Structure 1
Amino acid sequence: MLDLPGFADPNKAVNISNDVTIKKKSKKKMGGFHSMNLSFQVLKGVTNRGYRQPTPIQQKTIPLILEGRDVVAMAKTGSGKTAAFLIPMFEKLKTRSAKAGARALILSPTRELALQTLKFIKELGKGLSLKSSVILGGDSMDDQFEALHGNPDIIVATPGRFLHVCIEMDLKLTSIEYVVFDEADRLFEMGLNEQLTEIVGRLPDFRQTLLFSATLPKVLVEFAKAGLSDPVLLRLDVETKLPEGLKLEYFMVRSEEKLAALLVLLKFLMDSSKNQQTIVFAATKHHVEYIHLILDRSGISNTYIYSSLDPSARKINAAKFQSGKTNVLVVTDVAARGIDIPYLENVINFNFPAKAKLFVHRVGRCARAGRLGTAYSLVAPDEQAYLLDLHLFLGRPLSIVTSTNLEGNIGKISRDLLEDQLASLLVLEAQNADLVAIQKTLDNAYKQYLRSRPTASSDSNRRVKELGLDVCSIHPIFRQVEELHRDCLLEKMKTYRPQGTIFEICGKNKSVEYLTMKEKRAAHKDKIDNHKKLLNDKKAVPTVQPSPKSVLADSTSKDINDTFRNVIVPKKRHQMDVLYKKSKKIKTEDEKVFIPYAPNDQHTELGLTVNNFQNEASKVQMDLTGDSEEAMKLNRSLKKWDRKKKKMVTVENPLKGKIKTESGVWIPATYKSNRYAEWKDRTKANQNHGNEDEGEEVRPQLKAKRYTHWAKHNEKMERKQRKSEMKSMDQIIKAREIAERKKKRQKKGKKGRKHKKK
């Protein structure tokens, strides 16, 4: 039997040695949107939008929503919460249903957020046939009546206007299946409790309700307890973004002085501390090469890494830095992702990152495992807005170094130190011609980098101008005692203003000019004092708070445990909670046996409680309604003493000008103005009510007719341009005759061309 290559003899046994290992194909981990059992159209919209991997809030929330659970999720802005409730909504609704009415309702606190949500709906649901409409305050109510008559599948609205439209149209909202309260804490902070309660009262009991909030106040917990059925609480708060032992220091420098500032900073670190390792992050590989050459010529031992560097060279340079042969490593963001130095002390941002997450990624490489570390950043004028975006993202206030605030972390480098390094750089460029050629390449590379750099938020660009970061004082790191006195003296000289004008200082006390200015000053004393007060307020240390404190009361752990049976928290946080519980002191007393020294109601018996019934009842007055016309008039003119106004004021009925809704809530009577009935009569929308039972979509007349000259002219032109789908016999015969004439003309034209050729 011939031995064929590739085929073994079946009669012979084949022994596989132990050295040979069979490699199995590793299965790819499917943790993305593909593993969520989404339909093809929904998944296509997600991928077209640019989503590749779900964010933590999306990964935890979407499966729970698809199961039909009511969810309360704590998520901050920018965490992907909009897609977290839109993707399962598209999966539940899928196709258009004209006769069912609105099936999803999304309530937003502001019109900007509502419009942003509508934009996301159009982008994510591009391949679906769902119809959406927006109901916002300030827009035309007639257009909103028309939009709701079109039976949209999804309604995005603000609570005030939506409730107004519901009362005007007497909507029952029985077809709503999916309700989302976006930024729920802001909805309650804006005082929309009654509107939300009334809207929830109109919704059916079998709905699915979702609440997304950045905080969890007590009002929100009570609302979830009353309006949601067995909700799941997702406490996916943003984890601590920066290590606890990390200090942040910022230096305001001009773009052309950045290299000199870097040299000043590195020499300071080398002198002040020994064997501390430092990573310098630059924007492009050209920056890395240029900084590497400058540091070599300046006598600072360093190495460098960037993405297009040879792999063996990258490995060698990284080993040099990790082994401690060099204390400075210059890298780009792409090359720095694979580097892990557990004992790194300092990070320097030569080019400030445009994204806050990129900053966290850079500086998070130091101060690990409980060690201390410092992140230094050189901030140019065109990068100051990104600094403000970063601190809003981190939730930290800005602390600018001024003459009054000497312990800030945003300051300048001493001018003397910068001048020395600038002079040394000029000498280096004069001695080395190759540095000048590299600098031209560097400038071109930086222009390309600026094109790809995302822009900072418009709010940060506006607020940076008000902060005055350019006028900050010298940073505490580089400040000396002599410089401190000098800065204080210069600051006083800049802000010195004499008490009097030139007429008062140079003139005599009894002169006409002196007396005139004194009278003028006395007449405008109030305005002068107000102006001085404004100047003092501007001189105060400017700070940027991450967000205003909530005016709502915080919820307690007891409120959360009573409302939510299932609470999902991050693993790290769960471990910390367990450790915290273990560290608590165990109560040694037994409640059944232990007798306290003072009774529980001691403060109540002494009358020291805040909300005591006797104290509250003493402030209440009860007025009986009169049973005659005179008594009724007298009751209307009752007055009481107003402490603020210091006079008697008429007691107004608190329910005056309000109406009672179906759920028993009193709302302003201006909501009901019969505008919907007038709109129906004007647009003949009531004629189409008979077709609603047959499942046909209601299409009311768009606008009322205008009887002006140009309106009639436009209507005639529209009728001429309009073509009916069903043609009459005459129209068909006429179209055929026109087609035959065209064919005859074409034949004649062809014959004429042939004769000319001959």
Structure 2
Amino acid sequence: MSEVPGFPELGAADEAHDPDDKIRKKTVKKGGGFQSMNLNYNVLKGITKRGYKQPTPIQRKTIPLILEGRDVVAMARTGSGKTAAFLIPLFEKLKLRSAKAGARALILSPTRELALQTLKFIKELGRFMGLKSAVILGGDSMDDQFSAIHGNPDIIVATPGRFLHVCIEMELKLNSIEYVVLDEADRLFEMGLGEQLIEIVQRLPDTRQTVLFSATLPKVLVEFAKAGLGDPVLIRLDVESKLPSELQCWYFTVRPEEKLAGLLALLKSHIDSNQQTIVFAATKHHVEYLHMVLDHVGISNTYIYSNLDPSARKINAAKFSTGKVKILIVTDVAARGIDIPQLENVINYNFPAKAKLFVHRVGRCARAGRSGTAYSLVSPDEFAYLLDLHLFLGRPLSIATPGNKNGIVGRIPQSLVEEQQSSLITLHENHSDLVSMRKVSENGYEQYLRSRPVASTDSNRRVKELPLITCSIHSIFSSLPEASEDERENLLDRLKNYRPHGTIFEICGKNKSQEYLTMKEKRALHKDKINAHKELVEKRKMELESLNVGTDSKLPNSNTEEINDAFKTVVAPKKRKMDELYKNNKKRKLKDENYIPYAPTDQHTEEGLAVNNFQKEAINAQLDLVGDSAETLKMHKQLKVWDRKKKKMVVAPDARVGKIKTESGQWIPATYKSNRYAQWKEKTKVEHDEEDDEETPTQKGPPQNKRYTHWAKHNDKVKLKQKKSEIKTTDQIVKARLVAEKKRLRQKRGKNKGRKSRKK
């Protein structure tokens, strides 16, 4: 037997034939591989075939706890192997196929792409387990999903909205569920699926085991864990490094009208055409516009957004994942959980307004130890969000200046931008469809700006002090010829920084004129202030060369008291020794003992991870005074509101109209309960077949307590003929056609006889 690297032992089945059994056991315990977890042989075989050699830190921490039967909330950065961390214990718990038990495992995912990817992992890792899996997604045929659930799958992978719809439609009992996974749990709540999740959890048995996997830990998730999980264990890994160390982030300052030219300059001049690249845009209109422009330019690409047809989304994603197309343009629908092998680059065409969203966008690359690069095009209205991001990450923000050529924030050479801009102008002049699509994307961006959250006040203030507009050319373009570009940049800088020594009254006026003398007196009066301002400007220039916009304090994702209240056991990485950092800071430590800051230490992290902002919700809240008598309550029911469409006051609609109350007391839309399942059963005769299987042929002949006369027999035969299947055999179809042809000829002959008799 050939030994696989990292797998010195394949399983218990090989131990009987291995003479060096004791030696191998020692090496396994020392290495801490998958074999030390006492996994099933078929599970280990699937892991080996998949190519996994050593467990990642999150897998090493979570798998033993899940196998013990504990509820787990695991938090780790994207690309750290979270999918395998909950699938391996799933296979170990289910072990064999059970056709009559019903579904025993449920995996909930926020998007259809992530659900399909999880299903693919299940088939690859569990290829030797013989387990049956089904996927329930919105946009697919419900009839196929009804038949899939009737096939008693062991594992169900679903999106919460459609799964709840199917549960209510079929009146599905989930008593057999043993293992529940909420993948990307924070995203599930952020997408507004909290009500569906609570309703699904209410239907699950109390003896279930629940596992939550998430990249971040907002407060709403902590509250859900306290309410829905029993004594959960929190596993926090890689909390300090929110982005992987293998990921390089570059930022380019561009004017809004030149952003598309900057994107083309990156794709044509810097990024290799053989590398896979994802471009994130703000709206679906931007996605379509960029797709059309890249097609006209000659760059092969594909696109995905939420309103796209599910089959088209699947086809476009397959084109990109298989490497037929190297560029994928998407909205934030693809920003979470999707693992695309060999993805090298991510481009933020529109900079995200939330730091958390940036982390998940760029988390598509640099996964599982691979390297990657994230490029961001930042316009002046997005500078404050860039500062918010680095406050959230706790990283320094270095700007490329003449004294600091290696800054991460810089400009694209103007010659490249102007070259692409001129080609775009020519392109739009020759294609009217591009002009109309550009107008649509501009209108869509205006709507997007209305819903975009505002950056922090501190970042808006500090942006004015930073030389982001006047920064130098980015270091990644250092290979380009610099002579002409440097000469041009120096000339532009001199023009921007030029200040005349006197005003127009002093330069053009006579020495003894009243205007000249007045300006001289005014200048002499404010001479000290002018000199102080010049010194301040020079001092700022010196400070900007060693600019650090990071924060020294640690930024945990949730408050420590809340986490300790929710989780008794917290598994976290070992703390580093901080003695050296605090040696020279003793005085400041004593000074800050009795100091209460205006903002908490986790302010920026909480703003980045927040799903609901209390301040914004409080502004929109209304206080309605309700009476305590029957008359005032009746008047309150007849309260009228202004209808913008009808242009008049109408009776306020009841909030519960069009909703139904479920078994758990939740009010959900009535559209969840339709008659589609009953129609499907009637069409497929599933219920009739089940009854036939259950019946035993004990009674033969006439039924008891019933008059079985000749006409009764005749009526039963007629009913049996009516109940026969509508599918006809080949002979029946041929016979029916012959009868129909004879009938047609007979009718034709009758018509001809009638015409002859009329003529006579």
Per the normalisation by structure 2, the TM-score is 0.46
Per the normalisation by structure 1, the TM-score is 0.46
Larger radius of gyration: 1
